[in-house]
Amino acid sequence: MIITIAGGGSTFTPGIVKSIALRREELEVTEIRLFDIDKERQDKVAIVVNWILKEELKTDIKLTVTTDEKEAYTDASFIFAQIRTGKYAMREQDEKIPLKYGCVGQETCGPGGLAYGLRTIFPMMKVIDDAEKYAKKDHWILNYSNPAAIVSEACRKLRPNARIINICDMPIAIVDIIAQSLGIKDYTEIEYDYFGLNHFGWFTSMTHQGRDILPEVKAYMKKHQILLPESYIENIKKNLNADNRHAVSSWVHVWETMYEMTEYFPDYLPNTYLNYYLLTKEAVEAANPNHTRANEVMETREKNLFDGIEQFLKTGEINGEAFYAGAHGNWISDLAIALKNDTRQRFLVIVENRGALPNMPYDAMVEVPAYIGKKGPEVIAQDNISLFQQGLMMQQLNSEKLIVEGAIEGSYQKILQAFTLNKTVPSARVAKQILDDMIEANKGYWPELK
């Protein structure tokens, strides 16, 4: 069984490979292939991947590292996709251009997310086409590549028969943080209901061993004014970073907003990303327009990985723990196990609505729980959603749909409408200013807009 990782040079590749290798028996994996368009970057990452497979876990899994599509995908059963079109240099633009105009500067939310979407749609279609051409007929593409909401809408519209499931690790990361905050040892024991769009959803219930834990989560946040485990809060006070990429630097503000959002709207527990839409002004105030999350990531996760590889080449010593991503790699690997072994385990996935949320459009790409087996996701139907959530979701959904339509038609008008409709943007004039700057910054990446 062959698993191909598209975006093999990603900072998440070592963690994902480790999760796969730890599950080698259930996955019956014999070969892992790394595919990237940046040979130099991927070759470096492959050094640590090779070490994980051969030295750390002593597996006999074959490793192939390539920039050739045919070699990458031929006979693959799974493709784990995690490409970042334009890499961190373009993420920095996505975050900094809106902030110049006093708007949210975020990788997947607001104008930055829309811009990233316009860059990613067509490269993702190529991944799908290459997989279709070379991989096993019953292959599955499990896609993390962001912005997953726009990518999944593009898949629905442009490749409706593609064997792709779009996923996100944020809900499970929230569950992990909650488990640690409440002293629950194993976060996978927490069960939950959820609905939304990607990076735009709500937990409607959460239980541990049958006990409703949402009241405890709320009480915990009231006490600490933040949703992070006490040990992390202590580290933050001492200016130390927690050993969790979701709880460092600018992410800390995000976990503070979890408390405020839940105080105002106590019915459900929001996804962290809703802060950009509900506490928009505050998100802009909390940001440093000259130093955004892209800079933080380049100075930490990316630097640590590549410095670690240099160090290994010089000394032969490596700190394996530094490259283990935990929940992120486990989530995608466990999803592959469910598909392959027909386990019918429950996962959150981004799928076409088809009535699962009755008062959302039939063709909306929604993030909802589904049972996963050999035939793919069996989505669990829910009841109508409330007017507040539905109104927010419709605005966001149509903004994202306009990006996909605008990309396909090369329509400046539709892209301007998408930017204007986005809740984080205060006026059409500001939308146009940001868009015009972004067209300049994205030359060579965006389709031509007329």
Contact 69, 42 (CB under 8 A): no
Which CB, 65 or 190, lies closer to ligand G6P?
190
Shortest Cβ distance from residue 98 to ligand NAD (Å)? Answer: 17
Which one, of 213, 233, 210, lies nearest residue 223 by Cα? Answer: 233
Binding piece for ligand G6P, criterion CB under 6 A, among 74-82, 163-171, 369-377, 397-405: 163-171
Task: Considering only residues 131 through 150, tell me which ones interact with ligand G6P, judged by CB under 6 A.
Answer: 146
142: contact with Mn ion by CB under 5 A: no
Which parts of 388-447 interact with ligand G6P (CB under 6 A)?
none
Contacts of 259 (CB under 8 A, 6+ apart): 221, 222, 224, 225, 226, 227
Q: Does 245 bind ligand G6P (CB under 6 A)?
A: yes
CB atoms within 10 A of CB 45: 27
Retrieve residue 290's tokens: 């000259």
Check binding of 169 to ligand G6P (CB under 6 A).
Answer: yes
Q: How far apart are CA 327 and CA 12, in angstroms?
A: 11
Regarding 330 and contact with ligand G6P (CB under 6 A), the answer is no
Residue numbers 301-330 binding ligand NAD by CB under 6 A: 328
Task: Kindly state the tokens that stand for 312.
Answer: 């290994």
Contact status: 360 vs ligand G6P (CB under 6 A):
no
Residue 165 within binding range of Mn ion, rule CB under 5 A: no
Residue 168 lies near Mn ion (rule: CB under 5 A): yes
| Residue 38 is a binding residue for ligand NAD (CB under 6 A) | yes
Site string for ligand NAD, 206-245 (x = CB under 6 A): ----------------------------------------
Site for ligand G6P contains 119 (CB under 6 A): no
Question: Which C-beta is closer to ligand NAD: that of 144 or that of 268?
Answer: 144
**Tokens in use for 285?**
């105030």
Q: How many residues bind ligand G6P (CB under 6 A)?
A: 9
Taking the C-alpha atoms of residue 323 and residue 117, their distance in angstroms, rounded to an integer, is 28
Active site residues: 169, 273
Answer for the pair 170, 199: CB distance below 8 angstroms, yes or no: yes
How many residues bind ligand NAD, per CB under 6 A?
A: 26
Q: What is the phi-psi region of residue 333: left when phi exceeds 0, alpha when psi lies from -120 to 50, beta otherwise?
A: alpha
- Tokens at residue 400, please? 């994202």
- The only residue of 21, 61, 104, 170 in contact with Mn ion, by rule CB under 5 A: 170
- Tell me how far apart the alpha carbons of residues 445 and 421 are, in angstroms, rounded to a whole number: 23
**Minimal distance in Å, beta carbon 84 to ligand G6P?**
9
DSSP structural state of residue 384: P
Site membership for Mn ion, residue 172 (CB under 5 A): no
> Residue 89's closest CA among 116, 127, 70, 65?
116
User: Three-class SS of residue 367?
Assistant: strand
Which residue's structure tokens are 């589904």? 370
Closest CA to 6 of 156, 116, 164: 164
List the interface residues with ligand NAD, window 287-306 (CB under 6 A).
none
Give me the residues that bind ligand G6P (CB under 6 A), please. Answer: 108, 146, 168-170, 173, 245, 293, 297
Give me the residues that bind ligand NAD (CB under 6 A), please. Answer: 6-7, 9-12, 35-38, 41, 82-85, 87-88, 123, 144-146, 148, 168-170, 328
